[in-house]
Amino acid sequence: MRHTTRLGVIALCVALLNACSADPTNEPDADLIITEDTGIEDAGDSDLLDTDTDVPDTEVPDADIEEPDADDSDAGESPEPWSCAPELSLEDGRYNDLNDLSDVELIAELHERVDGHTGYTYRAARDLMYAEVDGIDTQLDGFIHCPYTGRTATPNGSRTPDNFNTEHSWPRSNGAGSFPAEGDIHHLFPTYMPSNSARSSYEFGHTDCAGGCSWSEGGSKLGPSTDSRTEPVFEVRMQNRGDIARAHFYFSVRYELSIPPQEEAVLRQWNCQDPPDDWERLRNDRVEAVQDNRNPFIDRPDFVDQIADF
């Protein structure tokens, strides 16, 4: 009898164990992923790299941040559609009457809006840029940021704080050397001096640094182009390449100057890869307060795709 009772108890235990192993509630949570580095991570959350964070890079880009290879896309291809940034609101009442325009008609209307602004000499423009645009609570952290390297400078009331100076993103030798173009703050940027020297007056473009880069820092680099241009090209780091592209489109429309086709193809891609961020919009407001015009391509970056040729 005791033996029979024992057998019954054992059978009951086995049945209970089988029932527990079949219980779906003991399965791992489908929303949790085991990761090699961090252990457990919520599958519903992911950290996306914001290309406009402007994290200062004092020497080289963060090894954890992978930028697209410079030759991943052919600079001669058609520009990517603006739908690459569908979350960006493009509504701006100042331009409602231009929504149905394109090409030369849109260029003409935009030119009328940006022309006739208050002009400054280059010396006066540098003073204003550092005093009232880039030198006051810059990017909301109190520092001046170099768009080419990510280096920072502390505003000190001068035009050369911490080895910074002023970059003409549209070279003076190509049409920005006279009044009022030379002092148009929409295309002037505070830059770390060595990066300004490296850029010189080279066109913007993509480089894979075949044979080595002659200069690189913070994600920007100078080297042979990937689209067979004879001169080296300057590739701007991902975080700020859109800022430079939109400054170029503005300058082209304002001063009725053309952009070389290969450079334009690259700038169109950069406009889409790096949409305007809060700092770029704030800077646009500050420049308007100083010289009484705006860069419409910061307000409406989609206008770039409504113009077939700059």
Cα(48)–Cα(65) distance, rounded to whole angstroms?
A: 11
Q: What is the dihedral of CA 105, 108, 114, 115, to 10 degrees?
A: -170
CA distance 57 to 55: 6
Quick check: 54 and 238 in contact, CB under 8 A?
no
Q: Tokens for 17, please give them.
A: 């164990």
- Contact, 148 vs 220, CB < 8 A? yes
The one-digit pLDDT tens for each residue of the chain (310 residues) are 444 444 444 444 444 444 444 444 444 333 323 233 333 333 333 322 233 333 333 333 333 333 333 333 344 444 444 455 545 556 678 999 999 999 999 999 999 999 999 999 999 999 999 999 998 866 668 899 999 999 999 998 889 999 999 999 999 999 999 999 999 999 999 999 999 999 999 999 999 998 789 999 999 999 999 999 999 999 999 999 999 999 999 999 999 999 999 999 999 999 999 999 999 999 999 999 999 999 999 999 999 999 999 9
Phi first, then psi, for residue 236 (nearest 5°) are: -85, 145
Residue with tokens 């800022």: 243
> Could you give phi then psi for residue 39, rounded to 5 degrees?
90, -100
Residue labelled with tokens 């208050």: 118
Helix (H/G/I), strand (E/B), else coil: 244:
helix
β 220-223/233-235 pair status: antiparallel
Quote the tokens at residue 277: 């961020």
Cα separation, 30 vs 51, whole angstroms: 30
Half-sphere exposure of 86 (CA within 13 A, CB side): 1
In whole angstroms, what is the distance from residue 187 CA to residue 295 CA?
10
Residues 6+ apart with CB under 8 A from 61: 67, 218, 219, 237
**One-letter amino acid for residue 29 of the chain:** D
pTM summary value? 0.73
Which pair of structure tokens corresponds to residue 112? 């009328």
**Over the stretch 137-196, which tens digit does the pLDDT of each residue have?**
666 688 999 999 999 999 988 899 999 999 999 999 999 999 999 999 999 999 999 999
Q: What does DSSP say about strands 220-223 and 215-217: parallel, antiparallel, or unpaired?
A: antiparallel
Q: How far apart are CA 155 and CA 134, in angstroms?
A: 9
10-26 burial code (b ≥16 CB/10 A, e <16):
eeeeeeeeeeeeeeeee
Q: Where do we find the tokens 């420049």?
A: 287
